[in-house]
Amino acid sequence: MQSTAKTVNDYLNELPEERKTAFLKLRNCILDNIPKGFEEQLSYGMLGYVVPHSIYPNGYHCNPKLPLPFVAIASQKNFIALYHMGIYINPTLLEWFTTEYRKHCNQKLDMGKSCIRFKKLDQIPFDLIGKLARKISVNEWIECYEMSIT
């Protein structure tokens, strides 16, 4: 379910009331923890946290006009989704996250390659998401990304 919002505020204003509190808490968790250099913007119809062209002029290899994506959050039809490219590319980070998840949440992890789905909004492990957001700096992400596309 991709939003047609034009700005971050438009996106936030169109959130369903029953998801707004959890979504805003997730957004603040990311903003409070993501390392310096990443920027929040509307990206692919979601809230995205990207490496801007001012830091990484090459941009995203699939479309160099776009900044390098890192994390995104979205209100989908049946869940809130967290997309984290680091857990998709870095097996060590993925293993850390899946191990830690069990310690923070009694819900079964519902996850795709980079997508973590939260269907029960009262079960979002915000502390763990904060730790995940802090795990990779901008420079580490660029290095990891470049190694994955060569």
pLDDT digits (tens, 9 = 90+) for 43-65: 889 999 999 999 999 999 999 99
Q: Per mean pLDDT, which range of 22-26, 28-32, 44-48 is the poorest? A: 44-48
Output the pTM of the full model.
0.93
Residues 6+ apart with CB under 8 A from 68: 50, 51, 56, 58, 59, 60, 141, 142, 145
- Residue 4's pLDDT is what? 81
At residue 113, the pLDDT reads 86
| Alpha-carbon gap, residue 126 to 104, rounded angstroms | 9
